[in-house]
Chain A
Amino acid sequence: MNLRRVTLIALPYLWLLGFFLVPFLIVLKIALSDTAVAIPPYTPTLDLSGGWAAIRDFFGQLDFENFTWLTEDELYWKSYLSSVRIAAISTFITLLVGYPIAYAMAQSPDEWRPTLMMLVILPFWTSFLIRVYAWIGILSNEGFLNQFLLWTGLIDTPLTIMNTTTAVYVGIVYTYLPFMILPIYAALEKLDGSLIEAAEDLGCSRLSAFWLVTLPLSRPGVIAGCFLVFIPALGEFVIPSLLGGSQTLMIGKVLWEEFFSNRDWPVASAVAVVLLLLLIIPIVLFQKNQQRQQEAEQ
């Protein structure tokens, strides 16, 4: 009995240890190393055959130089800041687009809901990369959007959307919309319709009933949706590198360039470690929210 409980609890911890903590420690170790023209491209490497002296020597060579470097070159903190801004703004836009969709889904007749849910999930059936590429075909100067607008006569010259931050917003909002819709829909669907009727009965207009009852009660869904969009958007690499231009600074892109263009694994690892530390704050807040919600439901 006791052993079973210990095993049950130990399993997820072992999982975390093996697939999160150990890789993280490796990345941290690389972040504390120096670049080298070698394979792997950094020093020192741990050589256990040298005994205690080699291990002490190994730890002696680790330093925080790369982290200091991140603070010295303004590219990095500007990228972090710009990532946070882009992630926050696109989360907000996703919320503005996603909430009405989730609301409409929750209001729709029961027999429609599985179909609507299916439509929200359907994009996942196509590769994420292909879907982002498809946007190039839509947003570029000769793309469908510009062709359509030119055809309708709304514009005379094609709009430059491709390779701008706007294109990045479009990409992020499009890609992460289902992550916003689903938790909000889940919260709204649970909402007892008689609560709205009660609010109207007590003197609320439709709008104030929404504001005073529907919105507060869907808040856990809104918070969950925002985190589910914000957290991956912050480290997003594919969307800014495919749709964004050179002026779109995002930390995921910087990290990629450090790794593959500069082959500077230690700096890239340091960037990744800081990004992780940045993400821990929203992740912890997200967990808190989930926990509170669970407690409230009991």
Chain B
Amino acid sequence: MAQSKPQNVFAPWNDPQEKPLIRFQNVTKRFGTFTAIDNLTLDIYRREFFALLGPSGCGKTTMMRMLAGFETPTEGTILIDGVDVGPIPPNKRAVNMMFQSYALFPHLTVEDNIAFGLRRDKTDRSSIADRVSEMLRLTRLEKFAKRKPHQISGGQRQRVALARSLAKAPKLLLLDEPLGALDRKLREQTQFELMDIQEKTGTTFVIVTHDQEEAMTVASRVAVMDHGKVIQVDTPAGIYETPNSVYVADFIGDVNIIRGKAHPADGGLIRIHYAEGAEPILATPTQPVAAGQDVAFAIRPEKIVVAWEPDHSRANHARGKIIDIAYLGNISTYHLELPSGQKVSAQMTNARRLARRDFTWDDEVWLSWSDTAGVVLQD
């Protein structure tokens, strides 16, 4: 899941000189007694593809609607380009939004839908036409220019919505669950198209999604939200590899959580005693841990190696019995039970053909993982 890009390219959030395009300053939004956004502070930079990720009702859509101007913060300020946008109505903001339902105007053709925003600006006719045809080309919709929205497919509608929201070349484009209505294959394809278009136009994208895979695929940074708070903001790799809480670890991908008590070991490492009689887990904490403190050890299934013999190049070993095997084609997930009764899942790529697969149900195997394979969480 780690990004393939080299680390030196795009990371304005690490540059203290860089001014953020969007700044949420202690923003709180209440609807009656319900707090949708709770004292939130967040910076988003120019040219970022920023994902707001969380379960429904976590406040991600409210954040987006505040950026678009459909909601105003109850407390705190939102700055876009250093300007407090609180009093600016949606039609005066250099922000455009792509709606979850696409919200295409059913009485207008594809062309007129795309031109809609441009015409409001009193731009002259020929430059509107130029811009529209440019957008049609960008989204490969030239053939459908004269059609009405109900005469094209879902994927094409999605592209019209994108073209329409990009036509005014906004400083910031908001995408509300943009791919929710598409089927899986088309969604994956469109994710790459979105990234491509984002790179071509250089627009800052903020995407709202509840699909963690989508967020991981498209975003430069992901904010994981829960109950109106941002739990963690990091690159997809950072979120996946170094989650800061059990919530984030659990929300993104599959994870084994093993709870126990920490005891210091040599070289800044700790040993986590998680069960009576079981070999404690040797782990590398990211923050200092007090002796005897309760911690949660989070390890991804693919970081655990399953073998007949313990792998001595790795620091941790445990015996396990195979309870279940989920064969997914490219990978297999093994559900195992440790002697302590702790359930663990491990993932192995199926480099060999099925007929030559080694393990089967009820086999006693060895699990091995290194001291840096998992994350020590304190919460």
Chain A partners chain B: yes
Chain A residues packing against B (C-beta within 8 Å): 192, 194-195, 197-205, 208, 212-213, 216-217, 296
Chain A contact residues, majority secondary structure: helix
Query: Is A204 in contact with B107, judged by CB distance below 8 angstroms?
Result: no
* Chain A positions within 8 Å of B105 at CB level: 195, 198-199, 213, 217
B150 at the interface (CB under 8 A from A): yes
Per the bound structure, the CA–CA distance linking A212 and B105 in Å amounts to 10
Known: A194-B99, A217-B106. A201 touches B68 (CB 8 A): yes
Per the bound structure, the CA–CA distance linking A213 and B74 in Å amounts to 30
Measured between C-beta atoms, what is the minimum distance from A232 to chain B in Å? 29
Per the bound structure, the CA–CA distance linking A212 and B90 in Å amounts to 17
Query: Is B116 in contact with A202, judged by CB distance below 8 angstroms?
Result: yes
Contact with A along B99-127 (1 / 0, CB 8 A): 11101111100000000110011000000
Query: Is B103 in contact with A204, judged by CB distance below 8 angstroms?
Result: no
Return the contact of A198 from the options B69, B95, B97 (Cβ within 8 A): B97
Return the contact of A202 from the options B69, B101, B168 (Cβ within 8 A): B168
Seed contacts A194-B99, A201-B69; 16 additional CB < 8 Å A-B pairs: A194-B101, A197-B68, A197-B70, A197-B103, A198-B103, A198-B104, A199-B105, A199-B116, A200-B70, A200-B89, A201-B95, A201-B165, A202-B164, A202-B168, A204-B91, A213-B105
* Chain A positions within 8 Å of B89 at CB level: 200
Per the bound structure, the CA–CA distance linking A109 and B69 in Å amounts to 22
Query: Is A203 in contact with B107, judged by CB distance below 8 angstroms?
Result: no
Tally of chain B residues near chain A (CB < 8 A): 25
Q: List 15 A-B contacts (CB under 8 A).
A: A192-B101, A192-B103, A197-B90, A198-B104, A200-B70, A200-B89, A201-B68, A201-B69, A201-B90, A201-B91, A202-B120, A202-B165, A202-B168, A217-B105, A217-B106
Per the bound structure, the CA–CA distance linking A197 and B97 in Å amounts to 9
Query: Is A197 in contact with B91, judged by CB distance below 8 angstroms?
Result: no
* Chain A positions within 8 Å of B106 at CB level: 217, 296
Per the bound structure, the CA–CA distance linking A194 and B106 in Å amounts to 12
Per the bound structure, the CA–CA distance linking A212 and B91 in Å amounts to 14
* Chain B positions within 8 Å of A198 at CB level: 97, 99, 103-105
Closest-by-CB residue of A relative to B148 is: A296
Query: Is B101 in contact with A201, judged by CB distance below 8 angstroms?
Result: no
Query: Is A202 in contact with B70, judged by CB distance below 8 angstroms?
Result: no
Measured between C-beta atoms, what is the minimum distance from B93 to chain A in Å? 8
Query: Is B121 in contact with A197, judged by CB distance below 8 angstroms?
Result: no
Known: A197-B90, A208-B120, A296-B150. A203 touches B168 (CB 8 A): yes
Known: A201-B68, A202-B116. A194 touches B107 (CB 8 A): no
Closest-by-CB residue of B relative to A209 is: B91
Query: Is B90 in contact with A200, judged by CB distance below 8 angstroms?
Result: yes
Interface contact tally, CB-CB below 8 A: 58
* Chain A positions within 8 Å of B150 at CB level: 296
Per the bound structure, the CA–CA distance linking A217 and B108 in Å amounts to 10
B96 at the interface (CB under 8 A from A): yes
Measured between C-beta atoms, what is the minimum distance from A148 to chain B in Å? 42
Query: Is B120 in contact with A203, judged by CB distance below 8 angstroms?
Result: yes
Contact with A along B219-262 (1 / 0, CB 8 A): 00000000000000000000000000000000000000000000
Per the bound structure, the CA–CA distance linking A208 and B100 in Å amounts to 23
Contact with A along B137-172 (1 / 0, CB 8 A): 000000000000010000000000000110010000
* Chain B positions within 8 Å of A213 at CB level: 105
Known: A203-B117, A208-B120, A216-B107. A197 touches B99 (CB 8 A): yes
In B65-104, which residues have CB < 8 Å from any A CB? 68-70, 89-91, 95-97, 99-101, 103-104
Per the bound structure, the CA–CA distance linking A131 and B70 in Å amounts to 45
* Chain A positions within 8 Å of B116 at CB level: 199, 202, 212
Closest-by-CB residue of B relative to A203 is: B120
Measured between C-beta atoms, what is the minimum distance from B3 to chain A in Å? 31
Measured between C-beta atoms, what is the minimum distance from A187 to chain B in Å? 12
* Chain B positions within 8 Å of A296 at CB level: 106, 150
* Chain A positions within 8 Å of B168 at CB level: 202-203
In B5-33, which residues have CB < 8 Å from any A CB? none
* Chain B positions within 8 Å of A192 at CB level: 101, 103
Closest-by-CB residue of B relative to A219 is: B107
* Chain B positions within 8 Å of A200 at CB level: 70, 89-91
* Chain A positions within 8 Å of B68 at CB level: 197, 201
Known: A192-B101, A195-B103, A197-B103. A204 touches B120 (CB 8 A): yes
Measured between C-beta atoms, what is the minimum distance from B133 to chain A in Å? 18
* Chain B positions within 8 Å of A208 at CB level: 120
* Chain B positions within 8 Å of A202 at CB level: 91, 96, 116-117, 120, 164-165, 168
Query: Is A205 in contact with B91, judged by CB distance below 8 angstroms?
Result: yes
Measured between C-beta atoms, what is the minimum distance from A43 to chain B in Å? 58
Measured between C-beta atoms, what is the minimum distance from B154 to chain A in Å? 16
Per the bound structure, the CA–CA distance linking A199 and B91 in Å amounts to 8
Per the bound structure, the CA–CA distance linking A200 and B70 in Å amounts to 9
Per the bound structure, the CA–CA distance linking A197 and B150 in Å amounts to 20
Measured between C-beta atoms, what is the minimum distance from B85 to chain A in Å? 13
Per the bound structure, the CA–CA distance linking A192 and B104 in Å amounts to 10
Per the bound structure, the CA–CA distance linking A195 and B113 in Å amounts to 11
Measured between C-beta atoms, what is the minimum distance from A219 to chain B in Å? 8
Measured between C-beta atoms, what is the minimum distance from B312 to chain A in Å? 60
Measured between C-beta atoms, what is the minimum distance from A196 to chain B in Å? 9
* Chain A positions within 8 Å of B164 at CB level: 202
Measured between C-beta atoms, what is the minimum distance from B236 to chain A in Å? 28
Task: Across the A-B interface, give the 3 residue pairs with the lowest CB-CB distance, nearest first.
Answer: A203-B120, A202-B117, A198-B103
Known: A194-B103, A195-B105. A201 touches B120 (CB 8 A): no
* Chain B positions within 8 Å of A203 at CB level: 91, 117, 120-121, 168
